[in-house]
Structure formats: C-alpha cells, structure tokens
Structure 1
Amino acid sequence: MNLIQKYNVAAPRYTSYPTVPYWDTARFTVQDWEHRLQGAFRAANEKDGISLYIHLPFCESLCMYCGCNKHITVNHAVEAPYIRALLKEWQLYLQLFGEKPRIREIHLGGGTPAFFSPGHLAELLDGIYGSAELLPDAVLGFEAHPNNTTPAHLEMLYSLGFRRISLGVQDLDERVQYVINRIQPYETLAAVVHNARAVGFSSIGFDLIYGLPLQTPAGMESTVQQVMQLQPDSISFYSYAHVPWIKGVGQRRFSEADLPADDEKRALYELGKRLFTAHGYTEIGMDHFALPGNALHDAFRKGSLHRNFMGYTAARTSLLLGLGASAISDCWNAYAQNEKNVAAYQQMVNNGALPAVRGHLLDAEDLLLRRHIQALLCRFETSWEPVGIRCIALQESMDRLRELEKDGLVEIRPGRVQVTPEGRPFIRNIGMAFDARLWRKVPEAQLFSTAI
C-alpha cells in the first residue's frame, strides 16, 4: 500500500481543537461562555488587542464546491436588517466587556462580503470603529468574489484601513468553472487585482482549489501560469472537500466519476506546489504559499504564524470574536458558535440575547493538545518539556507518531517532533496523532473530508 492509499482517510483541518464535531456541547452554557470571555478579554485587550471575524452570509448564486454557511438570494433588501443585527450583537459584547476594545485584526468573510453595498459596509465598520480603538498596526482584510467586487468597494474599504484582499479564484478552466457554477473570466480577475493595487492594497491573496471535478494537469498548469501573471502575494491551495452528506444538494452538475482519483488529486497538488516554488513562493503552512516580504511569510520564518477560525494570520491574538450568523468565537479556553439560521440569529439579537447556541469549554488536556496541533500546522514542528510526557494523552500521541515516523513523515527526537518535507502534504494526518478526543470516540460515520 502506498502512502496516499494509507493516509487518504477522513481527517479534520484543525481550525480548532477539539474539532467542532467533538465539542462537549452538553457542558456548555452561555453563562460559562460569558465568564470565560470576560477574563480572556481583559488579558487580551491589555496585551495584544482582539480580533474580529464578521460573517456576511449572502450570495447571489450557489458555488457547488462551497461548504460555508451561506444564504442564497438576489434580494438586497436583506442587507440593512442584517447590518443592524451585527451592530446590535457588537453592542451586547461591549456591555459584557465594560471597556473599549482595542482591535488588532478584522476579517470580513462570507458568503460574499461584496454582496453588501459599499454604503452598508461603511455603516457596519463605522459603527464598530466608533466604539473601539483601532490599533495603528491593525490588519484588516476581506474575502472577495471577482465578479462583484467593484472599485467603489475597494476605495471605501481602503479608506477605512483595509489593506488585505483574498480573492476566490478556485480555477480558471472554463469547463471546471461551469461545473462548479463559478464562472469568472481571467479578465475580470485581472481587473480587480489591478484596481486593488491602484487603490493601494498591499496584500493580495488568491484562493485556489485542487481536486475539483474535471480538473486535469494541463488545466491546473494553465490556471497557475495565469495566476503567476498577476503575482498574488500569497496563495491558499486547498484540497477540495467532497462532503455530499453535508452539502449534496448543490453538487448536481457532476458525479463522483468526474472527480480526480486519489493519485490524480495528489499529482495536481504536487504540480501546483512545484510551480509555486519555481516562481519564488514558500510553503508556509497547510495549503498555503507566500512570497518573501508578505506578512504571512515573515511570520512563518519568525515562528509566530497563528491559526484560528479565520485561517492563517500574522496578527496573533488570544481572543477572536465572531459576529454574525454561524460565526465562531474563540477566547482560547472556550469556543462559542452563533445561531446558523439568519432569521433566527437576527431575532435573538434583536431580543437582546447573545446568539451563541453551542460551544465547548476546553479543559487542561484540550489546551495542551491544542498547543501541539497548532504548532505543527504553523511551524511544522512541536516541542515540550520532559515533564509533559507524563500526560497520558501526549504519550498516546507519541505511540501514534511512531507509525508516521516509520513512513518518513516525521522525525521524533527527545521533546520534539519535526515534520519532514515528505510529511508536509500529510499534515492533517500528523495533527490527528494528537487528537485524543477523536481516537477515544472514532466516528461511525464520516465527519470530515479526506486528507489528500
């Protein structure tokens, strides 16, 4: 059995530990969340400030690969009520904090943030800025769909401090674009990149996906070569997560037969990685590549790269506050997720209630294992003091890592585990070695997409 066959198993992406399916929701209460959040806020606000993730769930059409929480509509009358609800939720947290937040980072995610008019986005951001201190080196970014990100959006967001834009490219092959319902010509993408740079955006990232239906090596090479003409500062190169048991109704233009086989999918990844490297990009973490001088690249080199529900970030904070339907907050020792349904979310907030409906309170073992998994995904290594090995969960992790070491994916030394270059494509499997909650209750049904 080759390594692809052996390790292409269902595996989490580890934006959190424990992963969401393993949260102990029965022990979670909003009161416990508020208590832990208040303590975390005081410490974070005094030290590094806090991060904000704002979920803007609306899209005009359905992209058939998407696993995000989204609401498909062409009715833009939904904008104003949702903006008002976001600002009310923000006010609920301000009352809880009792002092002005110092903001280190804001990320607008979706959905499609540019579904909202520039005026409504300005209303949202002005409402947040008016009751917070935006730190001088704050990192502000947003996710962008090339088809509806206008010069007016770019100019308004730049005027409010935004310097990072992440463009959802996915693939530039017209056949692939059709089958995933994401039709966006290269010329449209190039125009947004040109406009963003002309306005002054200093960090432009592209999201690409490998393993999509109908993808071929020739098509992938063509996509990457076109991307290289635009020289994005960073590239997210995600594995397509085929999870029809979660989002099957949207996946109707293709069948299983249209997906690349395991070996073919791995070859697409290796092709993309080789082309990125040839053009000066460095692999900086799971699925991510960046040019020297980019903030993510520099953070990786310094060993300060951070990962949370927003993905990789150079702005490390211990408190991420999620606003909006389905948004997840993380105060390091607790997680809380908002109500997913947009109408129910708005009703809760309008009634004066925090919309957190489920979460997890991390215990000491969770915190230890979280630190190791995050280190592996951000630095490709982790280490511990000799006393740490006394933890049963860590000892069990070491037992699982030895099989990975036999396959050349990691090197184990006293107090340290190092991911080898050959092991980097298997980083999700390596993270799983530390996932005590998963191994104690192996799922009977598939919960996660496959690792490769």
Structure 2
Amino acid sequence: MSLSLIQKYNVPGPRYTSYPTVPYWVEDVFSIELWKKTLLQSFAQSNATEGISLYIHLPFCESLCTFCGCHKRITKRHEVEHPYIEAVLKEWQLYCQLFPEKPIIKEIHLGGGTPTFFSAVNLQRLINGILSKAAVAENYEFSFEGHPNNTTREHLQTLYNLGFRRVSFGVQDYAEKVQNAIHRIQPFHNVAKVTFWAKEIGYTSISHDLVFGLPFQSVENIVDTIEKTNSLSPDRLAFYSYAHVPWMKGNGQRGFKDEDVPRDDEKRKLYEIGKQLLAKKGYHEIGMDHFAKKRDSLFTAFQEGNLHRNFMGYTASKTQLMIGLGVSSISDSWFSFAQNEKTLEDYYARLEQNEIPVYRGHLLTEEDLIIRKHILNLMCQFTTSWYDTHNYFDELPEVLTQLKEMESDGLLILQHNAITVTEKGKPFVRNICMAFDLRLKRNAPQTQLFSMTV
C-alpha cells in the first residue's frame, strides 16, 4: 500500500458497529416507551423465524488494560459477582414480561470486561437463569470472551455443557515490552493452555484477538505473535487496529507517550505484513479486521452472503432483534437502538424501581434504515447495490460523485447500480462507508470523536 494513499485517507472515522453511530443518535425524540414499541414490533416479526440475540455485558476486571475502550469496573472483590448476576436476571425478567410469547434464543455472547472474572458456578447460574425463561433455536450459537490468565478448565467445561461452542481469547501481542506498556501481561503458555483445553473439550470455533499499532510494537513483534498464534491454529482471528483515543479514556491510555505509538505508514506496515502472514497460514480475510480458516462458520457465512455485523462484531448469522443485558449494554431492535445506564450505581437503581435500565437511544428514520443497509453490505460483503429502488436515497448521486476519487485511486469499482470494493480498497472500507454516512457529513464534529481509519 502506497504511503500517499495512507496519508490521503488516514482520517478520523467510525468503525460502524452501528448506523447511525452513537455520537449521532438523536436522543431528544427517544423514550423508553418508544423503545418498547419497536422492541415488540421486531419481536413479532422475527422471534418465530430467526430468534433473538442476547449480549450480556460482564464489566469486572482485576486490572486495567490500557488499550481497552470497553466499559469496565476494576476490582479484585469477587463478592460483586452475585448481586450483578441477580441484576442481569431481573433485567431479563422485565424484558420477558413484555413479550407475548416465550423468546427463542439464537445467539448469546458474554462480553466484558472479563467474563471469566466470574466463577464457573456463577456463570452457570446466569445462563441457566436466562434459559429458564426461553427456548433455544436449533441453529443456536453461544460464545464468550475468555482471559487467558484466569480462564480455567472448569470455565470451559461448564460453559460447553451449557451449549457454548465458540470462545475468543484476547492475545494482543506477545512482546514483553508491548505487554508492559498496555498493562496486559500474559505468557504464551497461558494462551496455549486454554486453547488446547478448549480443543480437547470440543469447542468448534476458537478465536484469538490480535492488535496492531500498539505502543512500541515492531514488525518483528507482529511476525513473532502471528507465528506463535499459528502454532496454536485457532479457527478464526480478529486483527484489530489499536484505537489511540486518550481524550475519551481518561488516564487509561497515558501510561506511554504518543510518540511510542506507531503512526501512518509505520502502523499500516504492521497490518500489511500481518495480513500477508495470515494468508500464508491459511486465514482468509472476512469483512474488516477478521480472518478465518475455511473450516470456520465465519468463512462459510462470508462465502454465502450471510455475514452480519452488530454491536457484538461480526457474526455468522443475522437476527433482527438483539437485546443487550447488563451495565452499558446496547440493544438493537433494527428500528431503534437503546443503551443501558453506564454506571453500576445507576443500573442497579433503575432495576430496584422495576424499570428496564435504558437511559438513551435512537429511533431510526427511513433514511437511516437505507444507509444502514448500504454500510452493512460494504462492511460484510465489500459490495452494495441499489438495483432495488427501496435502496435508493436522494443524496446517492452526491455520494457517488464523492466516491469517484476513490475509484480513481483503485479502491472501488463504480457500476451503474452497484459498488464493489477492490482488494486494494479493503483496508479503506471505513472511508468508503463514510461517504454514505449522511449524518456525519451534515454535522461534521468540531473535535475528534473517532480513531484514525488507517
């Protein structure tokens, strides 16, 4: 990739886990009653046909990783587990009371924070409590995020017995200097141990999360990390760009200097070398930042055009309704977004009042729904079209005019009624999506809201 392209397109931009992105939600017309209305509308349309997804946020961590942008609470006090699980189960009960029939669960994902902060016994109590009020779809997928340092064989076996078949382990980078900078110290043998346990128990999809662009990270570090990763042969990988946004994260990202973070062509070189190595090892690029072996369901979904992206990241199948449980979780009814209270104190207080603990959200307009579809298509399939007139919107000619320069740079192919991202353009898919982002263009931020796209 040429340095000129990196310099040209390396601008702040969203990662598009949703459209509109959270900074562009229109909160003043949102209400909890309107959220419930769209929730029930989506439930009626999709529960019996595809089921629903649950994202459960487990926010506790024993130590702070300085690369992390998630909502978390740092503590070593494990007595916090019981009341939190009770709160999540109460929240789920409030939702179930709204539904006219038993929900059918297609996906559960445990995210954090550190889900394996919780004991295996408490995780079992949580999942059994969730499933006691629901049915499970035939083609369900349950997954969780495990920390290699504290995931036990009991964690893996207990969740496997409950139906979990996919696990993701956070690796980031194996270099000691990088690990010290991001305050995430975990030896290779810890990752190897939990990976082998998961394989022995029978997990069918094991994922490792890697990050490029971390402070002090070098090409040698990337090569070493990918070689070590390949020796464990996970089924899929996330190879994320480190988002250096210290203005949003307080002191968490100030344990190192700005100049310690790779920039522009230096950072992109880490990605390009990593991507080439992954291809040689049999990993195929799936959407943005993700790679999978042919044996993995994510690869199959990409090949068959079923790949989906939401607040949980990429998934192998789509559900119209995703409910987020737990502090700070975001729900998606397709017609609206709703975010829970972001502090534990406010989250608990709302539940004590027998209220669904949503504090803000966004109702999608007809225009939002069309733009969302185009951005999802680009993110999941690297192409989108408007052969169907329902996918046309008034500003489309203006968007296509803006994209002509990207076409000249070889990043995409403009056809009469479609766009296809080229291989050269895949690293710039966020930039291409930004051309469709009408809310961003109509109200450009005066301060930096997003990480850099490259």
Supply the distance in 2 between the matched residues of 1:315 and 1:346 (Cα, whole angstroms). Answer: 32
Aligned to 1:439: 441
Asked whether the 8 Å contact 1:169–1:207 carries over to 2, the reply is yes
Match for residue 128 of structure 1 among 127, 130, 148: 130
What are the Cα deviations for residues 315-359 of structure 1, in whole angstroms up to 9, with x where unaligned? 211011000000000011100000010121011112200111100
Aligned: 1:76 with 2:63? no
Structure 1 letter corresponding to 2:40: Q
What residue ranges of structure 2 are gaps of 5+ in the alignment?
none
Give the 3 Å change call, closer, same or farther, for CA 376–120 of structure 1 in structure 2: same
What are the Cα deviations for residues 68-91 of structure 1, in whole angstroms up to 9, with x where unaligned? 000000011111000000000000
SS in 2 for 1:78: helix
Asked whether the 8 Å contact 2:386–2:392 carries over to 1, the reply is no
TM score, norm. by length of structure 2: 0.98
Aligned: 1:233 with 2:235? yes
Give the alignment of 1:231-310 within 5 angstroms: 231-310=233-312
Aligned to 1:21: 23
Aligned to 2:43: 41
Give the alignment of 1:291-440 within 5 angstroms: 291-385=293-387, 387=389, 391-440=393-442
Supply the distance in 2 between the matched residues of 1:386 and 1:291 (Cα, whole angstroms). Answer: 33
What are the Cα deviations for residues 226-255 of structure 1, in whole angstroms up to 9, with x where unaligned? 000000100100000000111130123210
Aligned to 1:86: 88
Asked whether the 8 Å contact 1:146–1:189 carries over to 2, the reply is yes
TM score, norm. by length of structure 1: 0.99
Aligned to 1:220: 222
SS in 2 for 1:421: coil
Give the 3 Å change call, closer, same or farther, for CA 280–30 of structure 1 in structure 2: same
Supply the distance in 2 between the matched residues of 1:430 and 1:248 (Cα, whole angstroms). Answer: 30
SS in 1 for 2:247: helix
What are the Cα deviations for residues 51-99 of structure 1, in whole angstroms up to 9, with x where unaligned? 0000000000000000000000001111100000000000000011121
Match for residue 197 of structure 2 among 195, 198, 202: 195
Aligned length: 452
SS in 1 for 2:48: helix
Asked whether the 8 Å contact 1:171–1:220 carries over to 2, the reply is yes
Structure 2 letter corresponding to 1:310: M
Aligned to 1:6: 8
Asked whether the 8 Å contact 2:244–2:253 carries over to 1, the reply is no
Asked whether the 8 Å contact 1:300–1:378 carries over to 2, the reply is yes
Aligned to 2:206: 204
SS in 2 for 1:236: strand
Asked whether the 8 Å contact 1:88–1:350 carries over to 2, the reply is no
Supply the distance in 2 between the matched residues of 1:4 and 1:46 (Cα, whole angstroms). Answer: 46
Give the alignment of 1:95-134 within 5 angstroms: 95-134=97-136
Structure 2 letter corresponding to 1:305: L
Q: CA deviation at 1:402?
A: 1.3
Structure 2 letter corresponding to 1:270: E
SS in 2 for 1:166: strand
Structure 1 letter corresponding to 2:430: R
What are the Cα deviations for residues 93-113 of structure 1, in whole angstroms up to 9, with x where unaligned? 001112100000000000000
Structure 2 letter corresponding to 1:180: I
Match for residue 58 of structure 1 among 53, 57, 60: 60
SS in 2 for 1:136: strand
Asked whether the 8 Å contact 1:207–1:237 carries over to 2, the reply is yes
SS in 1 for 2:227: helix
Q: CA deviation at 1:388?
A: 5.4
Asked whether the 8 Å contact 1:372–1:382 carries over to 2, the reply is yes
What are the Cα deviations for residues 163-184 of structure 1, in whole angstroms up to 9, with x where unaligned? 0000000001111001100000
SS in 2 for 1:422: coil
Give the 3 Å change call, closer, same or farther, for CA 390–81 of structure 1 in structure 2: closer
Give the 3 Å change call, closer, same or farther, for CA 72–302 of structure 1 in structure 2: same
Supply the distance in 2 between the matched residues of 1:139 and 1:401 (Cα, whole angstroms). Answer: 37
Supply the distance in 1 between the matched residues of 2:47 and 2:262 (Cα, whole angstroms). Answer: 47
SS in 1 for 2:215: coil
Asked whether the 8 Å contact 1:168–1:208 carries over to 2, the reply is yes
Asked whether the 8 Å contact 1:10–1:451 carries over to 2, the reply is yes
RMSD of Structure 2 on Structure 1 (CA)? 1.0
